[in-house]
Structure formats: structure tokens, C-alpha cells
A and B are shown apart, each in its own frame.
Chain A
């Protein structure tokens, strides 16, 4: 019987297997940041332990850092970042600090360095570690106790998983993106639908995606409750990796590719579950509620909780509408926003910034709307500036910031005020996620850009319809067909 991609990667890392116990799994790459690591380092010190493999460990500063400059004003945040610096120095871990070109969101940094590779196991004390699955890696978000465990042993005891195929057939229409696929998947299977599963995204629409698009999709696997999300490596993966600082070189590259080519799910391998989506039927997707499963097509309306059968989901929807201050039946496109956030480990790579800049170029931001553009890493920021994207955003009226997690979770000063409504390219619309009392609609970078122009949730097509831009004024691949 054939094996799936996930099973192959897992099997290649089992150090010890015993009946009735979790497998002891070797970890190839451990990514570290300032928020979930200080207590783990303390644990090591208390037990007199060391970091077993500093050469498989990399740290960066992201969650807590300011995006307006390189000085951390908040003393509590500063202490946490300084603690990471001290810990990395003490335990011999490579750290990319503020001001370093490789500093940035941990899930942007790993891939851009070429450290994230097919067939490896990656962990990080952050649930969006699932991002790295886009390369065909088994990438797991872990808690602080597990961070300490990996530091001390380079392994984790892990329970077996189930496999789910998410097959997306067909071709995305112009203007519909990876973000819309994953929001539609989560709406379909729910925030608990992936629980216990490793998802494998398959099908022609996934194959056609860039690595950036695949990362966006795998990133949000956790929002469906899944343990991980993966895409089998292919020529797109290799083209992205080749030549990056930590990618294998020379003969090593050939050996690696030969191995990576064996990873795809075998013909005849079976999944424990399968979900099928038709890419041709997808429209831009947005959320209306307070969990990422509460989403609809942008051309749809806010759903009526009374029409939801399940009592728990109905009460969750009622609570969500109250928190979001939305009435059932409201057209999503009639919802006004105060803020647009373009950033986060979901959508802050140069391709995302480029897509948004293509829409807003030469336009002016809507009255009363502010837009934050936060590149995922210092390197992304520099690349974008080399293309002149910063000037496009600034001329539009957006703020061009330094790299970090920023308003995705508002640990730094980038927060929503109570009652403020935001179209956000991030991954979580939980109550208070972007600031106490803040209201979040999850959107793609294209929808974020169009929304910043119109002030209401919009797709680029709406801009063509209302005459803001002529259909031939934006690149053809960014104009969605009328849906």
C-alpha cells in the first residue's frame, strides 16, 4: 500500500516507536522567537541542560517589535526581546535581531533563507508554523514545554495523526487568490474540522500556485484545527529554493532533489478523509464573524443566525454579530472599514505587497481610512523598496512600516481601538485579537487594496465597475471577472 506525503516525512524521522506510546520524532529545524521561549530557556537552566543542536536552531525577533523604528519603547516588550538576546548568546543560538536584514516574522524568515526544505520536520512555538508545510515539510506549532523539550533533545514525542486530502480542482479566476481558497476551506470544514489531521492540499489549483500562495494556504491550516498542512514539492518548490543561502548546493542539491522527488503521495495511498473544492466557482472570500470559519463570498450577505441548525454554532454566530456590530442580511460590500492591515505571516511577502500595490497605484486612500503596510521581513522590505512599492503605498496614503507581526495580534503598539473595524490580510478574526474591542474581517491582499480605495469591503472588480479604474489600467491577471 502506498503512503501519503505526510506519512513519508513522518516515518523518516521516527527515532523510537513503541506500542501504546507516541512516536519519538526527530526535529530538523527549530525556529524560536521572543514570546514563547523565555520560560523554555529558564527550564533548561533550572535543570542544568543545554541546547542539543544549536546548529538546527534559529531565532528571530518578531511578535513584540515596533514597526515604526528600531527602538522598543515599551519596557516590558524590551525586556522580553533583551531576554531572547541574552538567552541566544548564552546557549549559542543564531539570532536575527532588529536591524538585521534577516530579521522578521519567523515564518517568513525560514523560507527566505532556504532553511525550510521539503521532507524536513520543522517546529516553532507558534501555531502558524504550519506555513512551512508549503514546501512539503512536516511543520508543527508547539507550546513552550515542547520548545524546551526540542531544545534539550532535538525530538518530540508526537501522537499519530490522520490524513485529510483537500483537493482543489480547476483554475482560479483572475482576482481570486490562495487566501480565498483557504478561507473557503475553513468555512466549509469549520474551525474544528481538521482536528487530529494533517491536511494535504492537492489538485490543479494548488499546483498552479506560487510558493507564496502555498504558504498562505498552509499557514491557515491551524485555523481549521489541523495539526499541519502540506503541499507536495515540485518544480515550483525547487525553483524557489535553488540558490538560497541555506539550500543544498552542488552535488548536495542533486541528492536532495532526488530525495524530494520521492516524497509525493503514492498512487493508491489512502487518506482518512477528503474534501473537494472547485476553484472555478470560488469568489473573493471574507469573514463576517469572530472565528475564521465564519466567512462568506464577498458578494454575499451577513448570514442570519436563525437559519443555523446547530445550537452551539447558532449562539456563536449571535455572539459574533453582536461583537462585530453587524446585522444579518447586510451586504458584505456595504461594510465600512476604518483600517486596512496588509501584513502578517499569512500575507506579507513581496508577492502580496506587489499585488496590492498593483491595485492602488496612482489612487488615493478613502477618506477616514488608514492603511498599514508591514512587510514580513527586513529583506522583503528592501526588495519591495527596490521595486518602488514603498513609494506607491506612501503616495496612496498608506503607512510603510518595518517588519514584524504587528497588527495581526497587536502585541506591539499597532492595535485597533475599541469598536474600530479592520480589513486585515492576517489569519485570525478572534474577539480583541487586533486590539481590545477591535473588529476584524479577514481578506486577501487584493481585497485589502480595493477596500482601502473604496472604504467598504471590495474586490478590484468593484473598482472597474464603479469607474475608479479602467479595466485595462491594471494587469489583466489582477482583474477578477464579474462573479
Chain B
């Protein structure tokens, strides 16, 4: 994973709350077995409407999405994160995220920063007043700046560290391989196995 420090790019004001992952990418696009090429599927239902914000010429290379509360709720599909990344987004700012979506984001280098409802409103007003204006997101300072405005966002410290360092989770965990093996030595023998169940005489 690439290191993430600052990002500067076009900000998209999306005044919608409760954007579930079915809206981010409908299930029909989940049949693919690859991890890239999902840009056309992003917000597929809404993009059929020519007025939808991501159909506007101004927003063809956006990097920062500012959206309402409860973004990424519902299905666990990581394809939602892949589609946002494939479209060019590096950052989503929202007052509240679906838990699984936020976790998936951190693993794929998409920064999901939590902002206040008031800051979301202020950012929307600025981005709507000056369509195409760029937002700078600084993960070291945990701030997003546009024009004269700077707001702070929250991201959990561990995810922030991994993003800043560009670290791979599996590699990190495998440093603890010995502890995992040790843990396995004292698991109760009757815990379920997907192989045929253990036979013992009572």
C-alpha cells in the first residue's frame, strides 16, 4: 500500500445521508473476480440521471468526497471501496460511516475521515459556491482545508498510522505468528471443525 500523507484535489459536495453500499455499487457488479475496473459501477443507479453530481464535467477527476451521515452502511462489499478508488477518490469525509465500510477503506488506502455535521454543512456550502475548488487533506495534521477554511477530521490512530506508513495488515499480523501458534495449542479440543466432528467415547 502506498504511503498517504496529504492529498489535494477536487472536492465533491454530495448532500445525501444514509448512502448504503448498495447505492455505492449495486450487487450486479459484484460478479467480477477482479479487484479493479469498478469505476463505471460507482453510484450506478444515480449516474443514470444526467443531473447527478458525478455526471457534471466539473467533477470528472475528483479526489475528495464530502457526504452526509451514515455513508457506507449495509452490505460488507469491499467493492464499494474499490469503486471509489477506481473513480479517483482518495478521501471520503462524512459525519458517520458504516463500520465495515470504514474498516475496508483503511485496508485499501481510502481515507474515511469523520467530520462534524456542522463542518459537513460548511464544506458543502463552499464546494457548491465554487464548483471544482480543490480540497487539501492532511493526514499528519488530520485536517481538510479549502480556501480559508480548515476543519479537522477524526480517524482512529491505528488506521492513521498504517495509512501514513503504507503498511500491509497481513504482514503486520504475521510478525505475531508465534503467538498465534501458541494460542492454538490451548484451544479447547471440542471447538468446531469443518472437517468431520471429533469422535470421543463418553
Contact = CB atoms under 8 A, between A and B. Distances in A.
Nearest to B199: A249
Given A246-B192, A436-B26, A143 B104 contact: yes
Contact of B107 (A38, A76, A143): A143
Given A80-B31, A142-B100, A155-B180, A191 B202 contact: no
Interface stretch (A18-26, A263-271, A466-474): A18-26
Contact of B158 (A15, A22, A76, A146): A22
Contact of B192 (A15, A16, A120, A159): A120
Interface in A196-225: 196, 222-223, 225
Interface string B180-202: 10011001111111111111111
Nearest to A152: B170
Interface residues of B, number: 67
A465 interface: no
A55 interface: yes
Interface string A11-40: 000011000111010101100000110110
A428 B22 contact: yes
A411 B201 CA distance: 46
Most chain A CB atoms below 10 A, which of B26, B32, B76, B188: B76
Contacts of A141: 76, 100
Contact of B197 (A47, A249, A316): A249
B98 interface: yes
B101 to A, nearest CB: 8
A68 interface: no
A225 B73 contact: yes
Nearest to B194: A58
**Looking at chain A, what size class is its interface with the partner chain?**
35 or more
A251 B75 contact: no
Interface in B130-165: 156-158
B45 to A, nearest CB: 5
A127 interface: yes
A154 interface: yes
Given A192-B70, A249-B198, A433 B193 contact: no
A410 B18 contact: no
Nearest to B45: A432
Contacts of A436: 26, 45
Given A143-B78, A154-B180, A255-B190, A410 B27 contact: yes
Contacts of B179: 15-16, 24
Contact of A312 (B17, B20, B27, B100): B17
Interface in B6-44: 15-18, 20, 22-23, 26-28, 30-35
Contacts of B68: 312
A149 B170 contact: yes
Contacts of A52: 180
A215 B32 CA distance: 30
A252 interface: yes
A145 interface: yes
A480 B42 CA distance: 44
A114 B200 contact: no
Contact of B69 (A154, A192, A245): A192
Contact of B99 (A26, A195, A313): A195
9 smallest CB-CB distances across A and B, nearest first, come from A250-B202, A143-B104, A145-B107, A252-B190, A38-B33, A143-B78, A248-B190, A144-B78, A127-B76
22 contacts: A22-B158, A26-B183, A38-B34, A47-B170, A49-B170, A55-B193, A80-B32, A117-B191, A127-B74, A141-B100, A144-B35, A146-B103, A153-B170, A155-B176, A225-B70, A246-B194, A253-B202, A315-B15, A319-B16, A409-B27, A428-B75, A430-B23
Given A146-B103, A246-B197, A250-B200, 6 more contacts: A195-B98, A246-B193, A250-B201, A315-B15, A409-B75, A411-B31
Interface of A: 15-16, 20-22, 24, 26, 28-29, 35-36, 38-39, 42, 47, 49, 52, 54-58, 63-64, 74, 76-77, 79-80, 83, 94, 114-117, 120, 125-127, 141-146, 148-149, 152-155, 157, 159, 191-192, 195-196, 222-223, 225, 227, 245-256, 259, 291, 312-313, 315-316, 319, 409-411, 428, 430-433, 436
